[in-house]
Amino acid sequence: MFNKIKYRIKELFYFSNSESNGLLAIIVLIFLLIIAPKACMLYYSYSNKPLDHSSDMVLLEKKWLLLQENVSKTALININTTTVQQLANMDGITQKLATRIIKYRDKLGGFISLDQYKEVYGLSNRLQERLMNQTTILAKYRPKQLSLNHTTFQELVAHPYISPSIAKAIIDYRKKKGKFTTLYTIQELPGYHTDWANKIRPYLSL
């Protein structure tokens, strides 16, 4: 580029090589004296200016709050540890219904299936579905169990799945034949039914 400029100077002013070189040097020096300081000032003013991230931070905080709100809405409730008040905070679940659900849970010894909501009196199909969508049962959860060999008649009949006749049959078996040796011995009880056995077995122990 400098050679072209030098050639144009020689052509216009009929300068020798040394004269052309001198004029070119003067032009470059003038350029540096005038342009360079302004370029430096512009660079330093930009580099020393603090970047304004306030709008980005506000947007980030809004997104974070929205994320927390969505998480709180979608977080499943552990039905076996929740309280009446927490359950009553769900849409459509009144204090009365929440109390009834918790009482039934405690009578059972804990829910082992979300389908058991169908057994709670007064729960509409819509509320049953809502509970199934918004609550959970931990995979490792084990319900409270009744000992076939030690539980009293009153304790047996307090369970929703054990009728007075079944409770009496359990007590009579212990008196006549001694202790239950396996849970499958309940097959010998009068009125035994496979569906009933599948429901009650998780709540029994020896």
Q: What is the pLDDT of residues 133-188, one digit of tens each?
A: 999 999 899 999 999 999 999 999 999 999 999 999 999 999 999 999 999 999 98
Which of 112, 136, 160 is where one domain is finished?
136
- Model-level pTM? 0.62
CA distances from 83 to 5, 31, 49, 78, 86 (A): 88, 80, 55, 10, 5
Query: Higher confidence at residue 135 or residue 5?
Result: 135
The domain tally of the chain equals: 3
- Rounded Cα distance between 120 and 98, Å, is 10
Q: Residue 105 maps to which CATH number? A: 1.10.150.320
> Residue 69 falls within a domain, yes or no?
no
Contact yes or no for 200/162 (Cβ under 8 A): yes
Q: Which of 56-70, 72-86, 162-176 has the lowest mean pLDDT?
A: 56-70
> Residue 92 falls within a domain, yes or no?
yes
Query: Does 65 have pLDDT greater than 70?
Result: no
Amino acid occupying residue 22 = G
Residues 200 and 151 in one domain: yes
> Residue 67 falls within a domain, yes or no?
no
**If you average pLDDT over residues 63-87, what whole number do you get?**
75
Residue 1: burial class (beta carbons within 10 Å; 0-12, 13-18, 19+): exposed
Tell me: the pLDDT tens digits for 123-141?
A: 999 999 999 999 999 989 9
Contact yes or no for 197/145 (Cβ under 8 A): no
Q: Which domain holds residue 82?
A: 77-136
Tell me: the pLDDT tens digits for 98-113?
A: 999 999 999 999 999 9
First to last CA, the chain: 100
